[in-house]
Chains A and B, each alone.
Chain A
Amino acid sequence: LAKTTQPISMDSYEGQEVNITCSHNNIATNDYITWYQQFPSQGPRFIIQGYKTKVTNEVASLFIPADRKSSTLSLPRVSLSDTAVYYCLVGPNSGYSTLTFGKGTMLLVSP
């Protein structure tokens, strides 16, 4: 499974756009990129998944360059409730999935 590297922590203010970048240099051809959000004492929650280019949903956007060796999760206009740990995962999306979670990025949003 491809290893991922992301910042340990990030700080932001309410209303700002936050971009969290994840490096995955050894991504395989059949790997997808998935992001999760986790609040304290809760299970991780799926945010978004993509394979290439750009994916957008009601919560976030995911930008993946052509070489797929990195990806950027973009959270528009964050609020205090977006304070959480964000995990970037890379793995195959067929067969049984055993995504490996790294340490994640702790995002702190301040007023």
Chain B
Amino acid sequence: DVKVTQSSRYLVKRTGEKVFLECVQDMDHENMFWYRQDPGLGLRLIYFSYDVKMKEKGDIPEGYSVSREKKERFSLILESASTNQTSMYLCASSLVEAGPSFGPGTRLTVT
């Protein structure tokens, strides 16, 4: 089974802080994704990456950046956290021809 791990389950940050969310997968998957999930809005794709150093914007990239320096690691960066970025953040990875496997999620609260 693929294991996707996220650095924290719960995180509390202050407005204006720079926030790093880390994700690691152990199955040599090409694709990695960051989603956020909010009540009533479902899962929305922030960014995805199909190879090392490659990234593509998803549906809601504003306020976020990503980094993929190694195949197994995909980081989501909030340059200056704001309260409207309080959410559940989900990382996922997949092979080219398969649906993504998700990590447990990080519940981020920005105060």
> Do the two chains bind?
yes
B96–A96 touching, CB < 8 Å: yes
Is B48 close to A, CB under 8 A? yes
Q: Which of A43, A95, A98, A103 contacts B102 (CB 8 A)?
A: A43
Is B77 close to A, CB under 8 A? no
Q: Which residue of A lies closest to B99 (CB)?
A: A34
> Which range contains the number of A residues in contact with the other chain?
20 to 34
B42–A42 touching, CB < 8 Å: no
| Chain A positions 81-111 with a Cβ under 8 Å from a chain B Cβ | 87, 89, 93-104
Is B82 close to A, CB under 8 A? no
Q: How far is it, in angstroms, between the C-alpha of A49 and the C-alpha of B92 when the chains are bound?
A: 17
B99–A36 touching, CB < 8 Å: yes
Q: How many A-B residue pairs have CB under 8 A?
A: 63
| Chain B positions 31-68 with a Cβ under 8 Å from a chain A Cβ | 31, 33, 35, 40, 42-45, 48, 50, 56, 58-59
Q: How far is the CB of B48 from chain A (nearest CB, A)?
A: 6
Q: Which of B43, B45, B58, B99 contacts A46 (CB 8 A)?
A: B99
Q: How far is it, in angstroms, between the C-alpha of A87 and the C-alpha of B99 when the chains are bound?
A: 12
Main secondary structure of the interface of A (DSSP, over half): loop
B105–A43 touching, CB < 8 Å: yes
| Chain B positions 86-101 with a Cβ under 8 Å from a chain A Cβ | 88, 90-92, 94, 96-101
Q: How far is the CB of B95 from chain A (nearest CB, A)?
A: 9
B104–A42 touching, CB < 8 Å: yes
| Residues in chain B near residue A49, CB distance under 8 A | 98-99
Q: Which 8 A-B pairs have the closest CB atoms?
A: A43-B102, A101-B43, A96-B50, A34-B99, A103-B42, A43-B90, A96-B31, A44-B102
